[in-house]
């Protein structure tokens, strides 16, 4: 009898001892992983993290001028000098005010010469640069890559990225995970530091790293910043556009083509559209009979017309429209979509990011109807929608197969979809009633514009569409991209989830056994 009474206690003690040994082993393993993380302090364990932080990466840091000799021996454009700063341990690239400054990084040459180990594009999906420069010169860049599987530079092998707004040290991630050509062994690449450099700058490059995912890249970048006394970085900078503290329900930049709202609005509307910068447009004019701006489109691919918001802002005809407050452009229109693709693209520029391009466009769809409809162009997911709205290119359809007429009744910007839809409802009710411009309609006629400059600001030409909503006009490319021519995960690692979960299960099991034993003893 005595031995039978001792058995439950012995079982409980054995289970507790085993549990403690298991937990000690698991913690030791986690500590070992953190210790081998190459100086990066791994985040706490969180179940459900999207990406696991990996300590497997390749980083080229510059300890001295000859650490990676020959890395910058490729072609350069508008980079007038490359020197090494021994105190800061970085290369300093003197970049002149220009369009499309770039330097070639000879990863392939270095790996073939045995200076660095080959880099697998299949394994390492994120390229990270540690940098510092005056970001008022620009914040948008491009990275053209080559691999042994996909040699030659071309637009299909181009990755865009955006710097933060800080002039302190920062890191920027170039995410190649979504590009199907990023495969095989990494070869020479072209680093377009800025798509446009607005002033002469010294660009400090501290390291180039290759990581498995954004979580691993961010972990390294944040640790690097912290080691250099910078607590924040790798993030998009603050909005620079000026405007109201908070956007309400009223529209911004409203241009209404309606004689009942006053002739001044019609005059303003005539100034909105640039009748010279068009394609597949037979005619366009403000039509007082229909109270709309009428655009006659002829059959062909990629018809477009330019909207001169930036020019009207500069002339003070309209107030600046801050992108940080206004995420929706609404266009009230009527069109026969039977002879069209029913889809289109709007290319935008801002006073921070000028020039049209594939990084600055939004696609949209029309309703399958011939009556009045409200087209909402949503910029909320556009990374470069920052600053104040400048000129936009309205590619109304991807393709037109028959003569098409479009009547535009107004163009305006709103804080969100709800505000845009509410305004559209009020406009519909007002336009159906007719009569004079009512006081309750939430818009006042715009003040008469001052003289609008006839000369437009310098712009790059928007890429022409390939008929599928993608711009096909690319920088001139020979064997290299021609001279004319995103990162925050914040998630925590999930790699030690298995030992933690198993440990919890064992702990619960042990507690259950002990409870059962105690209960059994009480019954006796």
pLDDT in tens, 203-215: 999 999 999 999 9
pLDDT above 50 (res 234): no
How confident is the model at residue 77, as a pLDDT?
96
Model confidence band, residue 52 (pLDDT cutoffs 50, 70, 90): confident
Model confidence band, residue 258 (pLDDT cutoffs 50, 70, 90): confident
Is 454 among the domain residues? no
343-393 tens-digit pLDDT: 999 999 998 888 888 889 999 998 777 788 999 999 998 888 988 999 999
Residue 452 in tokens? 């609008």
Give, as one character, the DSSP assignment of residue 315: T
Residue 46 in tokens? 């969180």
pTM score, whole prediction: 0.54
Q: What is the mean pLDDT of residues 124-143?
A: 94
Which of 156-165, 190-199, 468-477 is predicted with the least confidence, judged by mean pLDDT?
468-477
Model confidence band, residue 220 (pLDDT cutoffs 50, 70, 90): very high
Is 233 among the domain residues? no
Q: Is 273 found in the same domain as 186? A: no
How confident is the model at residue 178, as a pLDDT?
87
Is 486 among the domain residues? no
Is 517 among the domain residues? yes
Is 416 among the domain residues? yes
Tell me, what CATH number does 410's domain have?
Answer: 2.60.120.430
Give the C-alpha separation, 270 to 302, whole Å: 22
Q: Is 299 found in the same domain as 398? A: yes
Is 28 among the domain residues? no
pLDDT above 60 (res 51): yes
Q: Are 99 and 196 in contact (CB under 8 A)?
A: yes
Q: Is 278 found in the same domain as 218? A: no
403-426 tens-digit pLDDT: 999 999 999 999 999 999 999 988
Label residue 479 exposed, middle or buried (CB < 10 Å: 0-12, 13-18, 19+): exposed
Is 15 among the domain residues? no
Instruction: Name the percent of the chain lying above pLDDT 90.
Output: 49
Give the C-alpha separation, 117 to 65, whole Å: 19
Tell me, what CATH number does 189's domain have?
Answer: 2.60.120.260
Residues 6+ apart with CB under 8 A from 354: 196, 390, 457, 458, 459, 460
Q: What is the mean pLDDT of residues 71-91?
A: 96
**Top mean-pLDDT range of 159-163, 440-444, 458-462:** 159-163
Among 398, 433, 468, residue at a domain's last position:
433
How confident is the model at residue 433, as a pLDDT?
67
Among 380, 403, 433, residue at a domain's last position:
433
pLDDT above 80 (res 229): yes
Q: Which residues is 91 bridged to in the sheet? A: 84, 205
Which of 104-108, 356-360, 491-495, 511-515 is predicted with the least confidence, judged by mean pLDDT?
491-495
The per-type count for the chain, helices as H runs and strands as E runs, is 7, 26
Which of 36-45, 69-78, 331-340 is predicted with the least confidence, judged by mean pLDDT?
36-45
Q: Is 417 found in the same domain as 365? A: yes
Model confidence band, residue 50 (pLDDT cutoffs 50, 70, 90): low
236-250 tens-digit pLDDT: 333 333 333 345 678
How confident is the model at residue 82, as a pLDDT?
96
Q: Is 351 found in the same domain as 401? A: yes
Domains identified in the chain, total number: 3
Residue 169 domain boundaries: 58-227
Q: Which residue has the higher pLDDT, 305 or 28?
A: 305
Is 463 among the domain residues? no
Q: Is 271 found in the same domain as 185? A: no
CA R_g for the chain: 30
How confident is the model at residue 261, as a pLDDT?
64
What is the chain's mean pLDDT, rounded? 76
Cα dist. 405→157, 249, 283, 313 in Å? 38, 31, 10, 28
Which of 165-174, 192-201, 263-272 is predicted with the least confidence, judged by mean pLDDT?
263-272
Q: Which residue has the higher pLDDT, 498 or 452?
A: 452
Q: Is 290 found in the same domain as 218? A: no
How confident is the model at residue 147, as a pLDDT?
97
Q: Is 212 found in the same domain as 318? A: no
Q: Is 174 found in the same domain as 83? A: yes
Q: Is 402 found in the same domain as 285? A: yes
Q: Is 267 found in the same domain as 197? A: no
Q: Is 155 found in the same domain as 100? A: yes
Give the C-alpha separation, 54 to 40, whole Å: 10
Among 385, 405, 433, residue at a domain's last position:
433
Q: Which residue has the higher pLDDT, 231 or 122?
A: 122
264-299 tens-digit pLDDT: 566 777 889 999 999 999 999 988 888 899 999 999
304-353 tens-digit pLDDT: 999 999 999 998 888 899 999 999 999 999 998 777 888 999 999 998 88
How confident is the model at residue 359, as a pLDDT?
81
């Amino acid at each position: 009898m005595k031995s039978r009474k001792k058995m439950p206690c012995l079982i409980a003690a054995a289970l507790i001892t085993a549990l403690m040994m298991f937990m000690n082993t698991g913690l030791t393993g986690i500590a070992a992983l953190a210790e081998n993380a190459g100086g990066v302090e791994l985040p706490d364990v969180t179940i459900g993290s999207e990406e696991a932080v990996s300590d497997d990466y390749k980083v080229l840091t510059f300890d001295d001028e000859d650490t990676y000799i020959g890395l910058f021996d490729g072609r350069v454009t508008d980079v007038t000098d490359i020197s090494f700063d021994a105190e800061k341990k970085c290369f300093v690239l003197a970049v002149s005010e220009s369009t499309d400054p770039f330097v070639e990084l000879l990863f392939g040459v270095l790996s073939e010469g045995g200076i660095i180990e080959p880099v697998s594009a299949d394994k390492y999906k994120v390229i990270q640069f540690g940098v510092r420069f005056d970001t008022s010169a620009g914040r948008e860049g491009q990275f053209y890559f080559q691999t042994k599987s996909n040699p030659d530079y071309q637009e299909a092998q181009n990755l865009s990225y955006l710097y933060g707004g800080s002039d302190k040290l920062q890191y920027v991630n170039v995410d190649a995970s979504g590009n199907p050509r990023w495969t095989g062994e990494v070869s020479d690449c072209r680093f377009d530091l800025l798509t446009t450099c607005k002033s002469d700058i010294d660009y400090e490059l501290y390291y180039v790293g290759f990581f498995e995912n954004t979580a691993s890249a961010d972990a390294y970048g944040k640790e690097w910043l912290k080691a250099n006394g910078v607590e924040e970085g790798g993030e998009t900078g603050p909005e620079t556009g000026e405007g109201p503290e908070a956007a309400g329900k009223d529209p911004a930049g409203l241009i209404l083509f309606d004689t009942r709202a006053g002739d001044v609005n019609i005059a303003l509307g005539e100034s909105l559209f640039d009748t010279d910068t068009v394609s597949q447009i037979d005619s366009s004019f403000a039509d007082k009979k229909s109270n709309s701006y009428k655009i006659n489109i002829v059959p062909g691919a990629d018809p477009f017309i330019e909207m001169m918001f930036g020019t009207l802002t500069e002339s003070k005809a309209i107030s600046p429209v801050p992108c940080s407050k206004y995420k929706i452009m609404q266009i009230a229109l009527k069109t026969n979509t039977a002879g069209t693709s029913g889809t289109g693209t709007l290319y935008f520029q801002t006073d921070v990011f000028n020039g049209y391009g594939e990084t600055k466009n939004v696609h949209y769809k029309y309703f399958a109807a011939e009556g009045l409809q409200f087209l909402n162009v949503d910029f909320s997911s556009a990374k470069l929608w920052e600053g104040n709205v400048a000129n936009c290119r309205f590619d109304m359809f991807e393709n037109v197969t028959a003569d098409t007429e479009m009547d535009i009744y107004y163009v305006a910007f709103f804080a969100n979809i709800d505000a845009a839809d509410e305004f559209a409802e009020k406009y519909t009710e007002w336009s159906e009633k007719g009569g004079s411009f009512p006081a309750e309609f939430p818009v006042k006629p715009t003040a008469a514009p001052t003289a609008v400059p006839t000369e437009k600001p310098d712009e790059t030409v928007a890429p022409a569409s390939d008929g599928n909503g993608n711009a096909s006009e690319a920088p001139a490319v020979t064997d290299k991209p021609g001279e004319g021519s995103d990162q925050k995960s914040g998630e925590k690692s999930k790699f030690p989830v298995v030992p933690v979960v198993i440990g919890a299960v064992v702990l619960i099991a042990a507690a259950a056994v002990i409870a059962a034993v105690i209960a059994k003893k009480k019954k006796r």
